[in-house]
Chains A and B, each alone.
Chain A
Amino acid sequence: LAKTTQPISMDSYEGQEVNITCSHNNIATNDYITWYQQFPSQGPRFIIQGYKTKVTNEVASLFIPADRKSSTLSLPRVSLSDTAVYYCLVVNNTDKLIFGTGTRLQVFP
């Protein structure tokens, strides 16, 4: 199973760009990199998924280097409402649905 490692917490201020890096050294060929966001007492919400290079949607960008051993979630111009826990998952089949402890992002005014 591809284990992921991410910082336990990060602090930022409104309007800044936040980059959260996830390490997944033993990622397999068929694995996809997926990020979720979770607010307190709510279910996680899908943010973005990618396989290689760069993926961008209306919420975030995901940067994946050629060796795919890490990935970076980029949140442009965060606001207070982006305060949440962010999970990085490496998934292919249901047996790899492992949510780690995530990164707790705190955005200050």
Chain B
Amino acid sequence: ETGVTQTPRHLVMGMTNKKSLKCEQHLGHNAMYWYKQSAKKPLELMFVYSLEERVENNSVPSRFSPECPNSSHLFLHLHTLQPEDSALYLCASSQELRGQGLYEQYFGPGTRLTVT
């Protein structure tokens, strides 16, 4: 148990569906992240929120839409996904101290997404 929870743990959706992934951190951190991990590929950083402001968007397709309503919650809204979007989606949080190194990130268990 890392203090970061993700729901749902598994999701199967069709290409025309709209769904949302939820992440919640109970650690009092000020930064949250979305990662994508496809089979046999490295983790890819998708979005970063620091103090509820999006500070990083790594050229992610617009069919992925993040939302960070407060420092404890992070959502990833999904619509019209493609089969190649099937992957493990991981949320993480950290206490970011700018210019003082990147402190450890705490990852959630992930959501296994299958797009049919």
Contacts and interface: CB of A to CB of B under 8 A. Distances in A.
Given A43-B108, A49-B101, 5 more contacts: A41-B110, A43-B91, A94-B45, A97-B33, A99-B43
Interface string B74-107: 0000000000000010111000101101111111
Contacts of B103: 49
Task: Summarize A's interface: helix, strand, loop or mixed.
Answer: loop
A32 B43 CA distance: 19
B70 to A, nearest CB: 19
Interface residues of B, number: 30
Contacts of B45: 94, 97-98
Contacts of B4: 43
A101 B31 CA distance: 24
Given A42-B109, A42-B110, A43-B109, A102 B101 contact: no
Interface of B: 2, 4, 31, 33, 35, 42-43, 45, 48, 50, 55-56, 88, 90-92, 96, 98-99, 101-110, 112
B112 A32 contact: no
Contacts of A30: 99, 101
A40 to B, nearest CB: 10
A43 B48 contact: no
A44 to B, nearest CB: 5
B107 A43 contact: yes
A94 B101 contact: no
A98 B107 CA distance: 15
Contact of A41 (B55, B56, B112): B112
B42 A94 contact: no
